[in-house]
A and B are shown apart, each in its own frame.
Chain A
Amino acid sequence: MEISERKVGDVCIVQIAGRLDSGTSDSLAQQLHRIIDGAERRLVIDCEKLDYVSSTGLRVLLVAAKRLKTVDGKIALSSLKPHILEIFEIAGFKSIFPIYGTTEQASQQISG
Chain B
Amino acid sequence: MLPNWRIGTKLLVLTVPLIAAATLLATWTLYRLNAERLQGMLKDRAKSIAHQVMADRQYYGAAVVPRVGELKGSLGADYRDVHGRFPLPATFVREVSEQIARSGDGYITRLISPWPINKEMGPKDSFENDGFAALAHSPGDPFVRTDTVDGRAVMRVLMSDVASSTSCVSCHNAHPQSPKHDFRLYDVMGGLEVIIPMDQYLAESRQEMAITLGSGLCLCFLVLGIVSVGARWTVSRPLAHIAERMAQFMRQQPDEQASGQTPELPRGDEAAYLAQSFSKMASVIRTQQTALQEANASLEQRVQERTAELRRTTAEKERIGSELRIASEIQKSILPRTFPPFPDRADFEIYATTIPALEMGGDFYDFFLIDDTRLGVVIADVSGKGVPAAIFMAVSRSLLKATALASVSPSACLEHVNRLLCPDNESAMFVTVFYGILQTETGELEFSNGGHNVPYVIGDNRLVPVGTPAGMALGVLDEARYQTSRMTIHPGETLVLYTDGVTEAMDGQGRLFSTPRFEETLQRLSQQRPIDLLTKLVEDVQAFSRGAVQADDITLLAMQYRQPALLELALANRASELQRLASNLERFAQNHRIPERDVHALSLALDEVITNTIAYGYDDQGAHEIRVRVTLANGRLSAEVEDDGRPFDPLTAPQPDLTSAVEDRPVGGLGIHLVRSLMEHVEYRREAGNNHLIMSRRLSAGAQAETKAEHHGNL
Contact = CB atoms under 8 A, between A and B. Distances in A.
Interface residues of B, number: 31
A90 B659 contact: no
Contact of A83 (B596, B608, B665): B596
Contacts of A52: 582, 600, 603-604
A3 interface: no
Nearest to B597: A83
Interface string A5-37: 000000000000001011100000000000000
Contacts of B677: 90
A55 interface: yes
Interface in A56-95: 56, 58-59, 62-63, 65-66, 69-70, 83, 87, 90-92, 95
Could you say which interface size class chain A belongs to? 20 to 34
A23 B662 contact: no
A22 B578 contact: yes
B670 interface: yes
B671 interface: yes
Contacts of A58: 670
Contact of A69 (B575, B579, B608, B662): B662
B662 A63 contact: no
B63 interface: no
Nearest to B666: A62
A23 B674 contact: no
Interface string B647-686: 0000000001111011101011011011001100000000
A23 to B, nearest CB: 5
Interface string B571-602: 00001101100100000000000001100110
B611 A56 contact: yes
B659 A95 contact: yes
Contacts of B604: 52, 54, 87
Contacts of B656: 92
B607 interface: yes
A56 B665 CA distance: 15
Interface in B507-533: none
Say whether chain B's binding surface is mostly helix, strand, loop, or mixed.
Answer: helix
A23 B600 contact: no
A65 B582 CA distance: 28
A97 B373 CA distance: 49
B665 A22 contact: no
Contacts of A96: 661-662, 665
A4 to B, nearest CB: 22
Contacts of B667: 59, 62-63, 66
A22 B611 contact: yes
B618 to A, nearest CB: 16
B658 A92 contact: yes
Say whether chain A's binding surface is mostly helix, strand, loop, or mixed.
Answer: helix
Nearest to A70: B663
Nearest to B676: A90
Contacts of A95: 658-659, 661
Contact of B674 (A55, A66, A69): A55
A55 to B, nearest CB: 4
A26 B10 CA distance: 145
Given A22-B578, A52-B600, A69 B673 contact: no
A23 B673 contact: no
B196 to A, nearest CB: 161
B575 A22 contact: yes
Nearest to B664: A66
B596 A54 contact: no
A96 B603 CA distance: 25
Contacts of B596: 83
A59 B608 CA distance: 13
B215 to A, nearest CB: 138
A55 B658 CA distance: 13
Contacts of B662: 62, 65-66, 69, 96
A23 B671 contact: no
Contacts of A56: 611, 671
A59 B694 CA distance: 25
Interface in B670-715: 670-671, 673-674, 677-678
A14 B603 CA distance: 25
A21 B596 CA distance: 18
Nearest to B599: A83
- Which of B658, B670, B673 lies at the interface centre, i.e. has the most chain A CB atoms within 10 A of its CB? B670
Interface string B380-391: 000000000000
Nearest to B605: A54
A96 B657 CA distance: 12
A54 B671 contact: yes
Nearest to A96: B662
Given A52-B604, A54-B608, A83-B600, A92 B659 contact: yes
A109 B600 CA distance: 31
B659 A21 contact: no
A62 B582 CA distance: 25
B576 A23 contact: yes
- Which of B576, B579, B615, B662 lies at the interface centre, i.e. has the most chain A CB atoms within 10 A of its CB? B662
A21 B674 contact: no
A92 B658 CA distance: 5
B527 to A, nearest CB: 28
29 contacts: A19-B582, A21-B607, A21-B611, A22-B575, A22-B578, A22-B607, A22-B615, A23-B575, A23-B578, A52-B600, A52-B604, A55-B608, A55-B611, A55-B671, A56-B671, A58-B670, A66-B663, A69-B662, A69-B663, A83-B601, A90-B677, A91-B658, A91-B673, A91-B674, A92-B656, A92-B658, A92-B665, A95-B658, A96-B662
Given A23-B579, A92-B656, 20 more contacts: A19-B582, A21-B607, A52-B600, A54-B604, A54-B607, A54-B611, A55-B670, A55-B673, A56-B671, A59-B668, A83-B596, A83-B597, A83-B601, A87-B674, A90-B678, A92-B657, A92-B658, A92-B659, A95-B659, A96-B662
